Amino acid sequence: MSFDTAPLFGAIEAGGTKFLCAVGTSTREYVAIGSIATGKPAETMRSVMEFFAEHAPNGLAGIGVGAFGPIDIDPLSRTYGTMLPTPKAHWGGFNYLEAIAEYTDAPVAIDTDVNTAARGELAAGAATDLSTFLYLTVGTGVGGGMVVDGRPLIGAGHPEMGHVTVPRAPGDTFAGGCPFHTDCLEGMASGPAIEHRWGRPGGLLGEFQTRATEFEAWYLGIALADFTLTLAPQRIILGGGVSRMDGLIHRVRDRMHRQLNGYVHALAERNTLDTFVVPPGLGDRSGITGALDLAKSVRKAT
């Protein structure tokens, strides 16, 4: 398939720290992928649309957006695509549909960043053999996307798994970093929580590395055990920058196993968790892959 004749789609993975953008075909062949630092909405979206104009000068057949939340993802809602109150400064009330419409008439589909990443893993990653699974990301924030029978779970809005309450780890005196709930999962285990607790970024913890990993494993292991008991996924995919901390996923499995304490028969043996809690099969391309597939779902007639 030639890029000169194939319809092109735009994909946006909108994160709190950066926007990953891509132009690609319906068969997931990428023309270009780029990264844009997340600034204020207007300037960030201007850079995104300039990227699309450069790499798809003849226009796009559709655009898929996987956005950090909370965000209205109900296509029938009059506020579809609007950011709801969020800890991210300047972004509350921002509407993606309106912003994109200033530059193009391409149809747009919007979902949460975690649902989009889950879509990518279902299509081409660690969930291609599944119908029901959980994707949890731990980075600037903490969020979860639950896929049931091949479709993201969406009810009265989207799940907010990062804002559940988890018991405090023994010895953890950090108050918590969530402006809404203080010491919820996101407030205790996100990237910013790590930095505020230890006074340095997660990649530069030095002598605090071991203790920081123990705290992360405590919060994430207990949360994943709770999600397993509540949602009964076939697998949990643990993504996001924090999840790549050295040795973390192994310790999360250990803590989760102790928390479940043999109650879930299929996970009674510790080694079963090695294939139950796994990293993304697409690495850091889960979200952008899912956003490209999302764009295809609203393809403009040609």
- Domains along the sequence of the chain with CATH: 9-115+284-296 (3.30.420.40), 129-279 (3.30.420.40)
For residue range 29-55, list pLDDT tens digits in order.
899 999 999 999 999 999 999 999 999
- Per-residue pLDDT at 112: 94
For residue 270, give both structure tokens: 């510790």
For residue range 79-137, list pLDDT tens digits in order.
999 999 887 889 999 999 999 999 999 999 999 999 999 999 999 999 999 999 999 99
* pLDDT band, very low/low/confident/very high, at 70 (cuts 50, 70, 90): confident
